[in-house]
Amino acid sequence: MHSKKLRDFVFRLHRYIGLIVGLIAIIIGLTGSMLVFHDEISEFLLHRQIGTITPSGDAYGNPKRERLPVEVILNRVKTTYANQSGVTIDRIYISAKPNAPAIVVPRKQESDLAELYVNPYTGVVLGNSQEIFSERFFSVVYELHYSLLAGKTGYAIAGIAALLMCILSITGILLWPGWRKLLNGFKIKLDAHPKRVNFDIHKVAGIVTAIFIALTGFTGFCWNFTDFTKPIIYAVTFTRKPASEPISIPVPGKTPLELTDQLKTARATFPNAMLGTIYFPGKPEDALSIRFKLPQDDDENGQSYVYLDQYSGKVLRVDNILEMPLGDRVLNSFEPLHYGTFGGIPTRILYVFVGLAPLILFITGFVMWRYRHRTQPHIYTTSNSNLPN
């Protein structure tokens, strides 16, 4: 009796959460599917618009070109904004791919301007993100995915919806009829009554994607409410909370050190790593942050950092991906779990279909709900025991 009451409660919880969060879950899921291969699509369309970057020698016997020093690339970019006051460089991305452009992000009054695509071998500015349709399109898709195009309010709504999607997946797993007879849980009787076919599609699509929806929902919730979830993750993993952000100590009358000197210090910390991203200080007390990709790091951009005092060049903190405590390793695992990159191309293809699942589950779930209200209540019980096998 108690078991039946518990199952009834789980069923009602599953049904009403599905009805409440369904439309938002569809938006998040569909946009998520579009973002799975965003990098590849964006790169293909970008090269079609800005041309091909060729580091190798040509048919005329010209030698292979080497990338320009980062400082030279930045100086070339700064000339683009020579007539505009208050424009500084926020960050620069250096791709590991030899045919990819360097991406420079200018900043003005604490707001990022359009990203600039720069040929890393010539320093020529090839275009900006406002001129590339695919970049504008995916920018809207990304914002729709994580904030529903509704700013901070949408950011919170999307985070709550992600948590509810996680709960919805867990309740769906508990209600799955395959726990009684495994094969029936994966069977779709296409020649049965439409009500049965609809139910079968719902149960199979749900159980196949449930774990992945739960993972993406949980990680999405943790990201959107990081100020709340991050301390909890550190607590449950018995990880000491990181010290406050590294800060530079301004020296009166002294300007920040040249980037060339700072890079030498940073590279000495990770001598075998590849330079990934440089985040420039926005304020006098901010540290210079440099991101590296170690050979053992699966992340394309790397997850190791060196923080430097911009005046003295002192190393303030080093975050080595290979030496991070458990809490930070858990947090770093969120990205591959959320985007499906942990298993390479196969899991990314799977995640495209995972993003479509909320649409299928909402439609089939809504149809079941309508049947329950249009016909006798016993047609769909919480255990579905009256459905034919």
If pLDDT is split at 50, 70 and 90, which confidence band does 46 have?
Answer: confident
If pLDDT is split at 50, 70 and 90, which confidence band does 58 have?
Answer: low
Alpha helices in 36-132 (DSSP H): 38-50, 70-80
Distance CA 188, CA 200 (A): 5
What residues pair up with 306 in beta bridges, in sequence order? Answer: 290, 318
pLDDT higher for 70 or 387? 70
Q: How many CA atoms lie less than 13 Å away from 201 in the CB half-sphere?
A: 21
pLDDT at 62 over 90: no
Distance CA 298, CA 225 (A): 26
CB 93 within 8 A of CB 101: no
For the chain, the structural domain boundaries read 2-37+142-238+342-379
Identify the pLDDT of residue 385: 42
pLDDT at 384 over 80: no
If pLDDT is split at 50, 70 and 90, which confidence band does 386 have?
Answer: very low
pLDDT in tens, 211-241: 999 999 999 999 999 999 999 999 999 999 8
pLDDT in tens, 94-136: 988 888 999 999 988 777 788 999 999 989 999 888 888 888 8
The 10 Å Cβ neighbour count of residue 81 is 16
Distances (CA, A) of 327 to 114, 245, 307, 331: 35, 17, 20, 6
pLDDT at 375 over 50: yes
Q: Which residue type does 167 have?
A: I
pLDDT in tens, 239-276: 998 778 899 999 998 999 999 999 999 999 999 999 99
Here the tokens at position 364 are 């089939």
pLDDT at 374 over 80: no
Residues 6+ apart with CB under 8 A from 8: 382
3-state secondary structure of 89: strand
State the distance between the two ends of the chain, measured CA to CA, in whole angstroms: 24
Determine the distance from the C-alpha atom of residue 108 to the mean position of all C-alpha atoms in its chain, rounded to a whole number: 26
Residues 6+ apart with CB under 8 A from 263: 70, 275, 290
Mean pLDDT taken over the chain: 89
In the predicted model, what is the mean pLDDT of residues 307-324?
Answer: 94
Task: Give the burial class of 273: count Cβ atoms within 10 A of its Cβ; 0-12 exposed, 13-18 middle, 19 or more buried.
Answer: buried
Q: What is the pTM of this model?
A: 0.85
